[in-house]
Amino acid sequence: MSYRDLRNFTEMMRGLGYVRLISMENFRNPNFPLVAEVLKWLVKRYDPSADIPSDTDTEQDRVIFIKSVAEFMATKAHIKLNTKKLYQADGYAVKELLKVTSVLYNAMKTNITENDDSTGDDENTSITFDISSRISELKEARRLASEITSKGAGLYDLLGKEVDLREQRTMVIARQLEINDVESSLGASIKAVENEIRKTLHMLDNVASDEANLEAKIEKKRNELERNQKRLQTLQSVRPAYMDEYEKLEEDLQKLYDAYLIRFRNQAYLESQLEEYNRVEQDKSEETESKLNEMAMKLKSEEKQSLFLDNRGEDEDESETDSEEDDEDAENQDRPNARRNRPTAAGTGGRVQGNMMGNISECMMTFMAWASGSRAVWKAWTVSFRLKWWEMSERTSTDPLDTKSRAAG
């Protein structure tokens, strides 16, 4: 991009009569809307009947627009444009736009010069140039130029072969033609043409027969289609014999399905309630078992404490009893034994632990086991009760006072 290119482009557009003033600062940055507007105006100035897409909102639309303009200029004006530079819409696009504007501007100057020479108008006359009125002449001139070029190339090739063809042409011209050969060649040509005509007529006859066969097949298929349609209508109008039973069975099936849905919902609800009840019972049983364990531990500790206190009291009683017996032995030795000691009854001096009322904790455990109604709780209470009974029986059998009384007896 150069300052001269920008200046020339702005001056040419102003000379061509572009409605908008173009500044040299418009192309400092990419300006695609201005480039698109200029391209549309130049295409319409070159060919008013040109059909160029005008949508440039999206990227795809802009690409299609640039391609269409480039193809139009390449086919109509033989001007090759660089689409990438046009899409950049900056100073590099000005160089591509100059290719089109320079052609139009030079044509306008030529037209103005011819008008000045022919009419001699004043210099202040407004510049008007409309190339649309001579579009047909330009197309015809372009066609003739291309045809002249192709014809000239063909003529040049033929002239290059003239040296070889001259001798053959001279020999053919110098040879005498025989009437028989001419007649035989003409007869062969006539027969070949007749054969071609015969083949063509036969093909035409076959075409007619093929057409008749196709029409017959089409008519046959049409009749078959009508019969099938009538049969279909008849079948649709007739009610099957099993339709009543089918509808009845369908109603029964619907009723059974509704009953099944109700029972399925009830079963699901009852199962959920059963699970909830089992969970609550499990929680209750666990809570009761934990409470019973706590009470058993508490009772066990209380029993240990009471057993310790009982053992301590028994030791004190034994010591007192031993001292009294020693005193009695001393007195008996001092005085004669006037009477015979009566043997004490077996087990009279022993002490029996326990009472008829039992422990209040045992009553509470029994009541809780009965109230809970749990088999596991009842079993646990039974085991604990048996253990306590065994401990009480062992403690009674090992009582020292009871042993001494049995020995005295």
Q: What sections of 335-359 are H helices per DSSP?
A: none
Q: How far apart are CA 276 and CA 289, in angstroms?
A: 20
Q: At how many degrees (to 10) do helices 360-372 and 375-397 cross? A: 160
Question: What are the residue boundaries of the structural domains of the chain, listed by start?
Answer: 3-129, 130-174, 195-238, 242-284
**Straight-line distance from the first to the last Cα atom of the chain, in angstroms, rounded to the nearest whole number:** 144
Which among 75, 100, 73, 96 is positioned nearest to 84, based on CA atoms? 96
Sign of CA dihedral 122, 123, 127, 129: positive
CATH topology of domain 3-129: Actin-binding Protein, T-fimbrin; domain 1 (1.10.418)
* Per-residue pLDDT in tens (0 to 9) along the chain, 409 residues: 577 778 888 888 888 888 887 877 777 888 888 888 888 888 888 888 888 888 888 888 888 888 888 888 888 888 888 888 888 888 788 888 888 888 888 888 776 665 655 555 554 444 455 566 678 888 888 889 989 998 999 898 888 888 888 888 888 788 777 788 888 888 999 999 999 999 988 888 888 888 888 999 999 999 999 999 999 988 888 877 788 888 999 999 999 999 999 999 999 999 999 999 999 999 999 999 998 889 888 888 888 888 888 777 666 666 666 666 666 665 555 554 444 444 444 444 444 444 444 444 555 555 555 544 545 556 566 666 766 776 676 666 544 444 444 444 4
CA distances from 288 to 114, 282, 365, 380, 381 (A): 124, 10, 11, 11, 12
Q: Tell me the whole-structure pTM to 2 decimals.
A: 0.31
Question: Residue 358: left if φ>0, alpha if ψ -120 to 50, beta else—which one?
Answer: left
- Taking CA atoms, 58 is separated from 30, 54, 154, in Å, by 16, 11, 49
Q: Which residues contact 56 (CB under 8 A, 6 or more apart)?
A: 32, 33, 36, 62, 65
Alpha carbon 153 to chain centroid, angstroms: 64
